C-alpha cells in the first residue's frame, strides 16, 4: 500500500499528458501512484513511478481498494475517452480527494469536469496552442497566459525604451504593462527598477493583461 503523505499524488491515465505529469512529480521528489487500465502502459512506467497499478479508474470501489481515498491530491490525465475521464473524477470526488486536477480536451468537457467536482481543469493543448501562436509570429520569445486573462511575456525591448530609465519611458502608463525583469546579453535577469536603463538588444519580462502584453510585444 502506498504511503499517503501530503506529498504523494495519484495520477490516473498515464498517456502523454498524465505520464509527463507523473514523471515530473517523481523528479520533484514526490511519491506517485500511477493508475492505468492498459497493461503495456503500466509496464512502461513500472520502473519510474513509486507504484503503478493496472486498474479501471472509473469505479470508486476499485479506487477505494487501491487506497486512493487516503490521498489529498489526484490528477486525471484521461482525455480522449470523455466518459472515463468524467467517471474517474466522479469516483475521486466520492472518495473525498480534496484536490482533484483534470485534463480537458474541449471547453465543454472542462465545464462538465468542473461541475462534477474537479477543483482544477487544465487544457494542455489549447494552452500550448495559444502559446505557440504567440511565439511563431516572432514577437515574443516566451509567453504564459493565466486563466484570469493575465499574462507574462519575454520580449525584445522596443525602440522607444532604449537609452532611457524605466521611469522615463513610462511604459506602464502608456501600455499598461509592468516591466518585471531586464536581461542584457549573457548576464542574468535583473529585477526591473525605476532607475533601470534599457538598451538596444535588451530582453524584457513584462506582465499585464493578455491584450496589453500582446500590444506591447507588437511594438518591437
* Phi and psi torsions of 107, nearest 5°: -65, -40
Site for ligand ADP contains 84 (CB under 6 A) = yes
Nearer to ligand ADP, 117 or 181 (CB): 117
The window from 11-19, 23-31, 153-161, 180-188 that contacts ligand ADP (CB under 6 A) reads 11-19
Q: How many helices (H) and strands (E) does the chain have?
A: 9, 13
For the chain, give the number of residues. Answer: 220
The window from 13-21, 128-136, 159-167, 169-177 that contacts ligand ADP (CB under 6 A) reads 13-21
β-bridge mates for residue 161, sequence order: none
Residue 32 CA to residue 28 CA, distance in Å, equals 11
Residue 146 CA to residue 118 CA, distance in Å, equals 18
Site for ligand ADP contains 65 (CB under 6 A) = no
| Cα–Cα nearest to 180, from 148, 213, 149, 147 | 213
Cell of 170: 513610462
Instruction: Give, in order, the Cα–Cα distances in Å from 27 to each of 46, 115, 202.
Output: 15, 32, 34
Region 88-117 residues binding ligand ADP, contact defined as CB under 6 A? none
Nearer to ligand ADP, 68 or 204 (CB): 68
The window from 3-11, 26-34, 74-82, 89-97 that contacts ligand ADP (CB under 6 A) reads 74-82
Residue 136 CA to residue 125 CA, distance in Å, equals 16
Nearest approach, Cβ of residue 18 and ligand ADP (Å): 6
Nearest approach, Cβ of residue 47 and ligand ADP (Å): 17
Nearer to ligand ADP, 16 or 174 (CB): 16
- Residue in 7, 23, 56, 130 binding ligand ADP, rule: CB under 6 A: 56
Q: Which residues 6+ apart lie within 8 Å of 68 measured at CB?
A: 10, 33, 35, 74, 92, 95, 97
Nearer to ligand ADP, 89 or 213 (CB): 89
- The torsion angle over the Cα atoms of residues 126, 131, 132 and 137, rounded to 10 degrees, is 130
Nearer to ligand ADP, 54 or 209 (CB): 54
- Residue in 58, 155, 156, 169 binding ligand ADP, rule: CB under 6 A: 58
Site string for ligand ADP, 15-54 (x = CB under 6 A): xxxx----------------xxxx--x-------------
In the DSSP assignment, the letter for residue 55 is: -
Return residues touching ligand ADP (CB under 6 A). 13-18, 35-38, 41, 56-58, 77-81, 84
Amino acid at each position: 500500500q502506498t504511503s499517503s503523505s501530503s506529498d504523494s499524488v495519484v495520477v490516473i491515465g498515464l498517456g502523454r499528458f498524465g505520464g509527463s505529469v507523473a514523471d515530473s512529480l517523481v523528479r520533484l521528489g514526490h511519491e506517485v501512484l500511477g493508475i492505468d487500465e492498459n497493461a503495456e502502459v503500466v509496464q512502461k512506467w513500472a520502473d519510474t513511478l513509486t507504484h503503478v497499478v493496472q486498474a479501471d479508474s472509473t469505479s470508486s470501489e476499485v479506487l477505494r481498494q487501491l487506497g486512493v481515498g487516503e490521498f489529498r491530491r489526484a490528477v486525471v490525465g484521461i482525455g480522449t475517452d470523455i466518459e472515463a475521464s468524467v467517471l474517474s473524477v466522479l469516483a475521486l470526488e466520492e472518495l473525498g480527494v480534496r484536490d482533484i486536477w483534470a485534463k480537458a480536451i474541449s471547453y465543454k468537457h472542462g465545464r462538465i469536469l468542473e461541475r462534477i467536482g474537479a477543483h482544477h481543469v487544465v487544457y494542455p493543448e489549447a494552452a500550448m496552442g495559444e502559446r505557440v501562436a504567440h511565439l511563431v509570429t516572432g514577437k515574443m520569445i516566451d509567453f504564459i497566459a493565466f486563466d484570469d486573462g493575465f499574462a507574462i511575456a519575454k520580449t525584445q525591448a522596443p525602440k522607444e525604451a532604449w537609452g532611457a530609465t524605466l521611469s522615463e519611458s513610462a511604459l506602464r502608463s502608456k501600455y499598461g504593462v509592468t516591466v518585471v525583469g531586464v536581461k542584457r546579453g549573457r548576464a542574468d535577469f535583473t529585477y526591473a527598477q525605476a532607475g533601470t536603463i534599457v538598451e538596444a538588444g535588451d530582453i524584457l519580462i513584462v506582465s499585464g493583461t493578455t491584450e496589453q502584453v500582446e500590444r506591447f510585444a507588437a511594438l518591437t
